[in-house]
Structure 1
């Protein structure tokens, strides 16, 4: 799995906020926000919410991912 790029802490905070508010549907909410941003022509927010969607998937894993040192 490719680890998403996080440009700042806001990405993590947005992901955890969605997970707290929407539970198992947090990824769907992030995708919906990305789609709304794309419909409005806001490509920056579209990319942000897609990244959040990927981060939510990553945060839901209980097992370590990637190389363990």
Structure 2
């Protein structure tokens, strides 16, 4: 799995909104929005929605990812 390379505060807020609205299907919704953006030629929004999809996956996992200091 690819982890987000960068996340802006608005992306975290969008991920939380999707998780609250769509529950366990929030990642699917973000993926669908990414595909819609790609289909209209908006590569910037495509990349953003893919990052949000990955962020939702990270926030949904019940384990620690990465190193613990």
Q: TM-score, normalised by structure 2?
A: 0.91
RMSD: 1.2
Partner of 2:26: 26
Partner of 1:40: 40
> How many pairs does the alignment contain?
69
Partner of 1:52: 52
Alpha-carbon contact 2:7-2:51 (below 8 Å) kept = no
The answer for unaligned runs of 5 or more in structure 2 is none
Note the C-alpha offset of 1:3: 3.0
1:10-43 CA-to-partner distances (Å, cap 9, x unmatched) read 1101111100000000000000000000001000
Q: TM-score, normalised by structure 1?
A: 0.91
Partner of 2:15: 15
